[in-house]
Chain A
């Protein structure tokens, strides 16, 4: 009887299909790939990649329309408060979709003609992209967890996908084991918060803490829940000391998958962290901000220092991505000063812009690595870049642009990104972390210069024919164009993303 009456009382939530379309299109694309791909012989000439990219671009265009709707109207929530309907979510979605499209193009160059070619990898990519987008849009901690697991499970499989190399399998397994470990912390954190607020909905959690008395807010179990959320998300972001998995996994996974992890994976994780800390837990900002400060500094210092001593380019970029995570945490720390206030400052905007620009950059970088290491039978040793400028001057030039941008040299998008977070930190008078970030950028510059020296100044120790597949060239070209265009004229991007601090819950 009880069950019956509950069903009778149940009112199906209204579903705004158009607002959901950016999430539905890649999911549908993945289904089409799996079903149609299983029934038809291998698709010729990069059609898998083209289809994947088309899904991503199509979803991106829809996302732009939705963005327009939001800025014309007001942010809100979707599907009974499960998802946020705000520009924050859609900037993350756009970041993820652009990176997915570019990675799909690069992947075609790696897989075509090998036994790994097929619809599976592309379907996983689209599913993972939906996961990352949901992480950025989640307005409910359980939905956030679902997005995170959708992303993570796809990534575990993708990391292990290169059956020819044992390192790939090892990377997949390590990531899986440690990822499961971290997910457990996250889930436990959600449970503890639910215990206090009696809801996993972010809007309701905020409402609970708003009306609660300080002793309730500072209950040990609530604080333990916040701590475990920080840990779980810190693992996905690869912030020191929760970064330990990333060098091994980045190095072991196929380069195109590494590109995906560094761009889409990081975007989803950082967006989720920003969503949870800034949107859901503004009343605990003084509790979590010092922890984020410590994580940021540790990531900046350890990432930059360890990147310098590596001899493998993918491992170098893994540590450099830890250092980038540090920069992103600097932005979150800055946003934390005024989380929940109306005048939110530029912290959140700087983080999301950083994610978008870094996503394009890192796909470009790994695109070049994919091509170079393919010529070396999958090895990405620094020596394989020796004399690249003589063999492939245009490729070397593109890599140089990406490396300069990662180092934060002016007139590249990397400068715009780093400038944004450091300015946000300075605005909030977090001078110490801003100075540490700048010093770390200088140390990290050494690493990028090492790769450049290897490409331009060392003689070629081999004459491996570096073949650049057409679609990879397109992806790298687009990434270079974006990197320079945004670097030279950043204002439109900053103006357009000014609205992201008006989030919904």
Chain B
């Protein structure tokens, strides 16, 4: 199967081309099923490749497939090459697996949309780009995918572009991501000038062998991190992700929760030897950025009333956890959390989509309540997702979050405390959401007329094509933790650390070793502490929103996201705008002035010289004669006599 590696990205690309050519004729729902099938084919091939790699021993789990020489320019030799190794195949597995489930869900969700086939066109293009991103053998192929997923993300955020808010959100995502892309490009150039190649093999090898100066490695790692901050919505560039919720909900699930936003974490993991070769403060910056983002976004999520906004801030917060892990050298834990997060966050986004669908496009949680009766499957699966993200064992989220916290304590107690507080907040705001949507009294009846429903308005359960993916993802959210169980006494030895063994060849250079530290010895107690925190968060939320024992604290400051967004807008609109205007004036007056001045000079000189061209043969002969005299003077007088 290894030689069929190219089929993994090729299948969604074929889907994209087919829908591009025949999309209108296929229509609904054939275009959707075609797109879903293509991603499923891709998944099947990925599974085959996975088992092939698994069959090899640890040091031979790397396969490079060169399709063609892409950029052969002198010293710059870049191949269009794909790399199958444990990391890329792990990524490809959940991208195609969750991707096909979300495609399936979207067939039901996008029912009746006039641009039905176009939606799947972008979705397939997105999956193709994402697969190029993770399977790329060098930074340039990854960058191709990086830009591709970015483009698809903009298209899909502003999919309903007739809404002004959707169009604005698309633009915001575009502008913010450009800042990150700049970092990736510079990192690529710096890597090339230092090592003479942009392939991961060469770059990482040079970093491991000490062939790159510490300062250069720090530069490359931090520039890549700038890209990661943009793509993975970390402080200070997270702004675009909450706004991106303007896109259709399957897009939020696929792109803005499960796959694209994790690209930054992937890139840092892929380049982990570079990070290991960098100065010590580089990982610290990453860990602190992640921790502060996690706490900051979690605090905002506490006061949101839009069902998708809560999930969006929660995603930012969870991505913060992953960067906390990367900065602490816990690459396996980062990838582990990425996978489990993909399961439960995709589940909850799709669940919220199902709710929005059943509530006729209502997103305000204050107008929901008691939906568990009308939508039992959606409610049941959503509750599983809630338990997973809150960190209740044995659900998937508990294991991955616990692993991250363990590594964090080993590197810095302060970061550990921040992580723990974030865990309490996470349990709190997710419980709040579940209670507001599915429990309590039904608040939608008084708003029935808002929904444009004729006669009596009743939320309804979604069709099976939307529920099936929910059920599958719920199952994965329950058992997802088995891929990386910790070494607790009660867990059988053969079941432990599966993911760590699998990823070992990739992350070995950068992975922190915590065995023997005091944190490692106390790991069982730490797990108990994490469970206590999760349960206390849940209990607090139940007291506030379930039993109404305590008054809800939802300060406006948090609802406004610490006014960060408004502050940036005010700055950009005020002093920023004035600075840009000044720059534009400089450009218009000085730069353009110089250019226009040259043009004016050219025109006036030409006008004068042109007058010599009279059309009169006699004057022409005169000009030639004058030229002859000058040439003769040069040769005879200057060269001959002098």
A residues in contact (CB < 8 Å) with B: 174, 177-178, 181-182, 185, 218-220, 223-224, 226-228, 230-231, 234-235, 241-242, 244-245, 247-248, 287-288, 290-291, 302, 305-306, 308-309, 443, 446
Chain A residue at minimal CB-CB distance from B631: A227
8 contacts between A and B (CB under 8 A): A177-B621, A178-B624, A224-B632, A231-B628, A241-B624, A241-B626, A291-B634, A306-B609
Q: Closest CB-CB distance, A460 to chain B, in whole Å?
A: 27
Number of B residues contacting the other chain (C-beta, 8 Å)? 27
Chain A residue at minimal CB-CB distance from B634: A291
* Chain B residues, CB < 8 A from A235: 624
User: Are A443 and B602 in contact (CB-based, < 8 A)?
Assistant: yes
Given known pairs A244-B624, A302-B609, the reply for A308 and B631 (CB within 8 Å) is: no
B617 at the interface (CB under 8 A from A): yes
User: Are A218 and B613 in contact (CB-based, < 8 A)?
Assistant: no
User: Are B623 and A227 in contact (CB-based, < 8 A)?
Assistant: no
* Chain B residues, CB < 8 A from A291: 631, 634-635
B639 at the interface (CB under 8 A from A): yes
B603 at the interface (CB under 8 A from A): yes
B615 at the interface (CB under 8 A from A): yes
User: Are B615 and A248 in contact (CB-based, < 8 A)?
Assistant: yes
CA distance A446 to B639 in the complex (A): 39
Tally A-B pairs: CB < 8 A. 81
B610 at the interface (CB under 8 A from A): yes
Q: Which residues of B from 600 to 629 have beta carbons under 8 Å from A?
A: 602-603, 605-607, 609-610, 612-613, 615, 617, 620-621, 623-624, 626-628
User: Are A247 and B635 in contact (CB-based, < 8 A)?
Assistant: no
B residues in contact (CB < 8 Å) with A: 599, 602-603, 605-607, 609-610, 612-613, 615, 617, 620-621, 623-624, 626-628, 631-632, 634-636, 639-641
User: Are B620 and A218 in contact (CB-based, < 8 A)?
Assistant: no
Q: Closest CB-CB distance, A179 to chain B, in whole Å?
A: 11
| Residue in contact with B617 in the complex, picked from A177, A230, A242, CB distance below 8 Å | A177
CA distance A230 to B605 in the complex (A): 28
Chain B residue at minimal CB-CB distance from A251: B615
CA distance A404 to B641 in the complex (A): 47
User: Are B624 and A227 in contact (CB-based, < 8 A)?
Assistant: no
User: Are B623 and A181 in contact (CB-based, < 8 A)?
Assistant: no
User: Are B635 and A308 in contact (CB-based, < 8 A)?
Assistant: no
CA distance A436 to B641 in the complex (A): 31
User: Are A227 and B632 in contact (CB-based, < 8 A)?
Assistant: yes
User: Are B617 and A178 in contact (CB-based, < 8 A)?
Assistant: yes
CA distance A290 to B634 in the complex (A): 9
| Residue in contact with A241 in the complex, picked from B615, B627, B634, CB distance below 8 Å | B627
User: Are B627 and A223 in contact (CB-based, < 8 A)?
Assistant: no
Given known pairs A182-B624, A223-B640, A247-B613, the reply for A309 and B635 (CB within 8 Å) is: no
Chain B residue at minimal CB-CB distance from A309: B606
CA distance A224 to B637 in the complex (A): 10
| Residue in contact with B623 in the complex, picked from A220, A224, A241, CB distance below 8 Å | A241
Given known pairs A178-B620, A309-B603, the reply for A227 and B615 (CB within 8 Å) is: no
User: Are A305 and B602 in contact (CB-based, < 8 A)?
Assistant: yes
User: Are B620 and A245 in contact (CB-based, < 8 A)?
Assistant: yes
| Residue in contact with B631 in the complex, picked from A218, A230, A247, CB distance below 8 Å | A230
| Residue in contact with A220 in the complex, picked from B628, B634, B641, CB distance below 8 Å | B641
User: Are B609 and A218 in contact (CB-based, < 8 A)?
Assistant: no
CA distance A292 to B639 in the complex (A): 14
* Chain A residues, CB < 8 A from B628: 185, 227-228, 231
Q: Closest CB-CB distance, A217 to chain B, in whole Å?
A: 10
For the A-B complex with A223-B639, A224-B636, A287-B639 known, give 5 more contacts whose Cβ atoms are closer than 8 Å: A220-B641, A227-B634, A230-B631, A235-B624, A244-B623
* Chain A residues, CB < 8 A from B634: 227, 290-291
* Chain A residues, CB < 8 A from B639: 218, 223, 287
Q: Closest CB-CB distance, A487 to chain B, in whole Å?
A: 16
Q: Closest CB-CB distance, B627 to chain A, in whole Å?
A: 4
User: Are A308 and B603 in contact (CB-based, < 8 A)?
Assistant: yes
CA distance A220 to B636 in the complex (A): 5
* Chain B residues, CB < 8 A from A288: 635
Chain B residue at minimal CB-CB distance from A287: B639
CA distance A308 to B623 in the complex (A): 22
* Chain B residues, CB < 8 A from A220: 636, 640-641
Identify the 9 closest CB pairs spanning chains A and B, nearest first.
A227-B635, A244-B620, A241-B627, A223-B635, A309-B606, A223-B640, A220-B640, A305-B606, A287-B639
CA distance A201 to B440 in the complex (A): 111
* Chain A residues, CB < 8 A from B617: 174, 177-178
| Residue in contact with B613 in the complex, picked from A178, A224, A242, A244, CB distance below 8 Å | A244
Q: Closest CB-CB distance, B634 to chain A, in whole Å?
A: 6
